[in-house]
Amino acid sequence: MIKSLVAVFLAAILTENYVLSKFLGICPFLGVSKKLKTAVGMSGAVIFVMVLATAVTWPIYQSMLVPAGLEYLQTIVFILVIAGLVQLVEILLKKYMPPLYNSLGIYLPLITTNCAVLGVTMLVIEKASGDPAFTYVSALVNALGAGVGFLVAMVMFAGVRERLETSDIPQTFKGLPITLVAASLVAISFLGFSGLVENLIK
Amino acid sequence: MNPIVIAIIIVAGIGLVVGLILAVASIVFAVPKNEMAEAVLEVLPGANCGACGFSGCSGYAAALADGSAESGLCAPGGTQVVKAVAKVLGKDAGLVEKKTAVVHCVGSCDNTDTKMEYDGIKTCKAASVLTGGTGKCGFGCIGFGDCVNACEYDAIRVCNGVAVVNPESCKACKKCVAVCPKNIISIIPVKKAAVVRCSNHDKGGITKKACTAGCIGCMRCTKVCPTGAIKVENFLASIDSSLCTGCGSCMAECKQGCITM
């Protein structure tokens, strides 16, 4: 049981990294990765929202949508729940962590429409439908892993971005073009992890 | 029951629950707004110049409201703003000296000369990095007007090769002080007081060759000053404006003519 959970967790971070393998959540990945501090703050908020969103959407899906035969409503219901959760997180941050609230600025509301968060909640349900061993706990671990994977990608890319700042880049590539090229190279490097988890935990 | 009705009930129900939770949370976890700080912010100029040493007007307003900052740090606002802030905070205003920037150089084209034909980037910073300035005097105003560009109040002009501050429009925001590569601009109180308008630390002979209006460190002014406000260090006189009474005896005594009122 624990073995399979570890496998789910590691897979979500490395082989199925939501940013670098599934290309979800590219907007904050490019937007907030300029500085390490905001990247870590944003990732913290994403981890929190991802786990919370999965914890709430899974029971809603399994106990309300499936019995009523309304699986097709999952996108809109999930967006609704996630939007509410992000608002709640925003209120809590404003109250208890004002520095983080100020540094996250516009990006916290952006988690509302962050496809990585929506992607995690929907993909765990897809996984569960194909694998009966994939339980509620696995879904939560998967969400946590996805969040940590987001953090890893953000922190790594913040390092790359900081080096881009100081390097001599041809005029045509300056700014976003070189950032996208760098992002694609980082994504390719993550292909190296494929098969790692399956062979590591048998 | 019609599946569409169930769908509507479920989505609307979830929306209602989420809305209720948010409504309760926004009341329970409401952040008490500092009304005093908001009121202070209203009367500050809103220039966000940072002359007070805080991060913009809102930072200064917050510090004023919780009493951790002195009033009167707002240079652009001057006395008017201090009075308004005091009114909001319910304290005595106290008097604020109006301050102005002053360029410690009178090396105009009449007094000094260039040492080279400069054809590079026309900014003081570039010229300073390249050759330490284009003039014969290595300490003086380069005159490309980095300070003029930095000034948001249109208070600095380059006249005859040297920057001059108009105290009437100067708000003492220190932006020019920060950009001057020669560090020859300082902030002084506006009052009748003498100012040494030279920054040359070379020995008298070398200074004389570079500029006819340079301070040669002859110490005549220190001897005539009745209040002892003038000191000469490293061949350059400086006047403590808090001690200066503005009697003008040093100005009359200075043969070089680099002390002005």
Mean predicted confidence (pLDDT) in A130-159 = 90
CA B219 – CA B228 distance, rounded (Å): 12
Residue B195 · residue B228 · CB < 8 Å: no
B→A interface, C-beta within 8 Å: 3, 6-7, 10-11, 14-15, 18-19, 21-22, 25-26, 29-31
A74 torsion bin: left (phi>0), alpha (psi -120 to 50), beta (else):
alpha
What is the total residue count of chain A?
202
- Report the topology of domain B35-89: 3-methyladenine DNA Glycosylase II; Chain A, domain 3 (1.10.15)
CA A125 – CA A62 distance, rounded (Å): 9
Picking from A65, A91, A101 by the largest number of B CB atoms within 10 A of its own CB, the best residue to mutate is A91
What is the CATH number assigned to the segment(s) B97-190? 3.30.70.20
Picking from B18, B26, B28, B33 by the largest number of A CB atoms within 10 A of its own CB, the best residue to mutate is B18
Instruction: Give the rounded distance of the alpha carbon of B80 from its chain centre.
Output: 18
In this predicted complex, what is the ipTM?
Answer: 0.71
Please check whether the two domains, B97-190 and B191-261, share a CATH topology: yes
pLDDT tens per residue, range B161-212? 888 888 888 887 888 888 888 888 888 887 778 888 888 888 888 888 888 8
Mean predicted confidence (pLDDT) in A148-155 = 92
Mean predicted confidence (pLDDT) in B125-152 = 86
Contact list, A92 vs chain B (CB under 8 Å)? 25, 29
DSSP conformation class of B135? B
Instruction: Give the rounded distance of the alpha carbon of A84 from its chain centre.
Output: 18
Which pLDDT band holds residue A106 (cuts at 50, 70, 90)?
low
Nearest residue to B144 via CA among B155, B167, B168, B128: B128
CA B36 – CA B17 distance, rounded (Å): 36
pLDDT tens per residue, range B76-113? 777 778 778 877 777 655 555 677 888 888 888 878 88
Mean predicted confidence (pLDDT) in B16-32 = 87
Contact list, B26 vs chain A (CB under 8 Å)? 91
- Report domain extents, chain B: 35-89, 97-190, 191-261
pLDDT, mean over chain A: 85
A144 pLDDT higher than 90: yes
For the domain made up of B191-261, the CATH class stated in words is alpha beta
Share above pLDDT 70 across residues of chain B, in percent, rounded to a whole number? 96
> Using CB atoms, which residue from B3, B14, B31 is nearest to A81?
B14
What is the value of pTM for the model shown?
0.55
Residue A84: closest C-alpha in chain B: B18
Nearest residue to A30 via CA among A163, A178, A199, A193: A178
Q: What is the pLDDT of residue B19?
A: 92
Q: Which of A121-135, A185-199, B27-41 has the lowest mean pLDDT?
A: B27-41
Nearest residue to A137 via CA among A124, A118, A151: A124
> Using CB atoms, which residue from A73, A81, A88 is nearest to B25?
A88
DSSP per-residue codes, chain A: -HHHHHHHHHHHHTTT-TTTTS---HHHHHHSTTSHHHHHHHHHHHHHHHHHHHHHHHHHIIIIITTTT-GGGHHHHHHHHHHHHHHHHHHHHHHH-HHHHHHHTTHHHHGGG-HHHHHHHHHHHHHHHH-TT--HHHHHHHHHHHHHHHHHHHHHHHHHHHHHHHS---GGGTTHHHHHHHHHHHHHHHGGGTTHHHHH--
Between chain A and chain B, how many beta carbons pairs sit less than 8 Å apart? 46
Residue B182 CB neighbour total at 10 angstroms: 22
B99 strand-pairing partners = B189
B16 pLDDT higher than 90: yes
Instruction: Calculate the alpha carbon distances from B45 to B50, B151, B174, B257 in Å.
Output: 12, 16, 16, 39
